[in-house]
Structure 1
Amino acid sequence: MNNNKFKYSELIKTEAKRLGFLSCGISKAEFLEDEAPRLEAWLNKNMHGEMRYMENHFDKRLDPTLLVDGSKSVVSLLLNYCPSELQNKESYKISKYAYGTDYHFVIKNKLKSLLYYIQDEIGEVHGRAFVDSAPVLDKAWAAKSGLGWIGKHSNLLTQQIGSYYFIAELIVDIELDYDTPVTDHCGTCTACIDACPTEAIKEPYVVDGSKCISYFTIELKENIPSEFKGKFDDWMFGCDVCQDVCPWNRFSKPHTEPLFNPHPDLLLMTKKDWVEITEDTFKKVFKKSAVKRTKYSGLQRNIQFLKD
């Protein structure tokens, strides 16, 4: 098997490209030593807010061998979601990643195809696919496998690509040829820290998740704290500010995945349309979208918060 590590890795990367992934990197499945104290400190400071699930499976988040028996390699993949068109400027905003079909479905299917391909080409390989719905530190694995570096806003950044992409993994039980991390290219730039509407980026590389607009508009089930009134910059689902101001996103290019194209109505709707949105329109525009996570009632709550 060892003689074939490079060959198998190249096979996997070629097929990943054919399936539409932006890039693919591979790292050894092992305990994430550097991430352990960071995650512990973040949780201890309660920066996860009501996201109690972040407290669960602490060990599994840091060690993929506890998630997948006999795992030896983590195959990290990026999938572009940068849209070619943006919403109407006179509109309440949703994060670009939620314009089209829910990424969980799109990526899960691509990952299954990749795993079947690996099994067909290499033989009996066991593995599991992960798309941010399990205790896996996506960004840490992507950085470890050389796909980019974690920026000051805590998102993965890639030279010549930016950051408008999803991260996913296949954890498999074969040894492969491992990639090496890239260097940090944030330099002295603080654009993301300076632009964050709620000052959620407490210091470089540390984001207080419980103060992030994405958290308030998606994860928080209670009322949004009134102290944040007037600070949401018209974001009703998610927030892209820290990515929009990042110089590296000058290099981002529109995706080529038809399933990520938005419902035509989404791009045309104005603030008035959103205020008057009915449940039927919500279901039509967001039929298969990640926006369904916040439900019709959640979106109404967010719009009301922006409007008042």
Structure 2
Amino acid sequence: MFDNPSRYAQIIKAEAKRLGFMSCGISRAGFLEEEAPRLENWLAKNMHGEMQYMENHFDKRLDPTKLVEGSKSVISLLLNYFPQETQREDSYKISKYAYGTDYHFVIKDKLKELLQFMKNEIGDIDGRAFVDSAPVLDKAWAAKSGLGWIGKNSNLLTKQVGSFYFIAELIVDLELETDSAVTDHCGNCTACIDACPTQAIVEPYKVDGSKCISYFTIELKEELPGSLKGQFDDWMFGCDICQDVCPWNKFSKPHNEPLFNPHPELLEIDKKAWQELTKETFDEIFQKSAVKRTKFEGLKRNLRFLEE
């Protein structure tokens, strides 16, 4: 039993594809040696701002065997969210990942199905699913699994695909054939660094989270700093600038996940309608969306900041 790592990897990848995942890569579970000093340095410089949770479980972030006892493999998966249609030009903007149903629910269900498939096909496997909801360095694992490289904007980038996808993991106590990391293809390009209105990409491959528009519009709970007025480029929830300007995203193709389709009204609303947003409309449009994370009051705060 459990004696065919190569065949297991093949059937897992085939099932992941059937479930709608864009790609699947596998790496050996163990301590992320290269990431440790980077994470320590990033935290020491307070680049996480008020995201205190980033300081928690330092050891677990770097070693999945501390998250899942006896774990041997990290299965990384990508799920496309690039939309067919985007918001109208004269609108305040929300990040494309939040257009449809909250990705946590969509991906969690797919991961549960994949894990159940593995148990049915292979045997008694112990494992856990992770979707941006536990101390897992998902981009580092996806890069280690050959699904792309971490670009200058600190996002995972993939040739022919870009970066508009979610990353998720299954950490399991099953020995699997692993994949090799790919090389960096950012070259001399600095499009993301040049385009960031708040200079959050402080140097290639390093983002100061506490300067990012996404941080201000989603994570920060207090009033937004007046010194940044006029720098948000009409983003009211999240920000896609460093992805929109990335040359690799010219290859992005629309997703085929119905749950990620936006509420029709989201694509129709202009700035004036956003300014008059009521709690009822907010609840209707964002009923199952990740935008609910900032709550109605948080979105109104962001809109006030953009209007002034």
TM-score range with shorter-chain normalisation? Answer: over 0.9
Question: How far apart in 1 are the matches of 2:5 and 2:90?
Answer: 53
Q: What is residue 89 of structure 2 aligned with on the other side?
A: 89
Q: What is residue 28 of structure 1 aligned with on the other side?
A: 28
Q: Retained in 1: the 8 A contact 2:2–2:122? A: no
Question: How far apart in 2 are the matches of 1:242 and 1:50?
Answer: 22
Question: How far apart in 2 are the matches of 1:29 and 1:222?
Answer: 39
Q: What is residue 241 of structure 1 aligned with on the other side?
A: 241
Q: What is the Cα deviation at residue 2 of structure 1? A: 6.5
Residue 5 of structure 1 pairs with residue 18 of structure 2: no
Instruction: Note the residue ranges of structure 2 that are not aligned, 5 or more in a row.
Output: none
Residue 194 of structure 1 pairs with residue 170 of structure 2: no
* TM-score, normalising length: structure 1: 0.99
Q: What is the Cα deviation at residue 3 of structure 1? A: 4.4
Q: What is the Cα deviation at residue 64 of structure 1? A: 0.1
Q: What is the Cα deviation at residue 67 of structure 1? A: 0.2
Q: What is residue 60 of structure 2 aligned with on the other side?
A: 60
Q: What is residue 295 of structure 1 aligned with on the other side?
A: 295
Residue 161 of structure 1 pairs with residue 161 of structure 2: yes
Q: What is residue 232 of structure 1 aligned with on the other side?
A: 232
3-state SS in 1 of match to 2:75? strand
Deviations 1:63-107 (A, max 9, x none): 000000100000000000000000011000000000000000000
Instruction: Note the residue ranges of structure 1 that are not aligned, 5 or more in a row.
Output: none
3-state SS in 1 of match to 2:280? helix
Letter in 1 for 2:24: C
Residue 215 of structure 1 pairs with residue 215 of structure 2: yes
Question: How far apart in 1 are the matches of 2:88 and 2:190?
Answer: 28
Q: Percent identity?
A: 75
Q: What is residue 182 of structure 2 aligned with on the other side?
A: 182
Letter in 1 for 2:156: L
Q: Retained in 1: the 8 A contact 2:29–2:71? A: yes
Q: What is residue 285 of structure 2 aligned with on the other side?
A: 285
Question: How far apart in 1 are the matches of 2:263 and 2:293?
Answer: 17
Q: What is residue 306 of structure 2 aligned with on the other side?
A: 306
Letter in 1 for 2:54: M
Letter in 2 for 1:69: E
3-state SS in 1 of match to 2:113? helix
Residue 133 of structure 1 pairs with residue 133 of structure 2: yes
* TM-score, normalising length: structure 2: 0.99
Question: How far apart in 2 are the matches of 1:121 and 1:208?
Answer: 44
Letter in 2 for 1:211: K
Q: What is the Cα deviation at residue 199 of structure 1? A: 0.4
Question: How far apart in 2 are the matches of 1:176 and 1:244?
Answer: 35
Q: What is the Cα deviation at residue 245 of structure 1? A: 0.1
Question: How far apart in 1 are the matches of 2:295 and 2:3?
Answer: 51
Question: How far apart in 2 are the matches of 1:282 and 1:199?
Answer: 31
Letter in 2 for 1:12: I
Deviations 1:185-224 (A, max 9, x none): 0000000000001000000000000000000000000111
Letter in 1 for 2:144: K
Question: How far apart in 2 are the matches of 1:47 and 1:305?
Answer: 23
Residue 39 of structure 1 pairs with residue 42 of structure 2: no
Letter in 2 for 1:40: E
Question: How far apart in 1 are the matches of 2:240 and 2:92?
Answer: 13
3-state SS in 1 of match to 2:4? helix
Q: How does 1:249-288 map to 2 (within 5 A)?
A: 249-288=249-288
3-state SS in 2 of match to 1:202? strand
Question: How far apart in 2 are the matches of 1:179 and 1:104?
Answer: 26
3-state SS in 1 of match to 2:21? coil
Q: What is the alpha-carbon root mean square deviation over aligned residues? A: 0.6
Deviations 1:124-162 (A, max 9, x none): 000000000100000000000000000000000000000
Question: How far apart in 1 are the matches of 2:19 and 2:191?
Answer: 34
3-state SS in 2 of match to 1:170? strand
Q: What is the Cα deviation at residue 16 of structure 1? A: 0.1
Alignment coverage as a number of residue pairs:
308
Letter in 1 for 2:98: A
Deviations 1:233-280 (A, max 9, x none): 000000000000000000000000000000000000000010000000
Moved over 2 A (4+): none
Question: How far apart in 2 are the matches of 1:43 and 1:3?
Answer: 41
Question: How far apart in 2 are the matches of 1:43 and 1:227?
Answer: 24
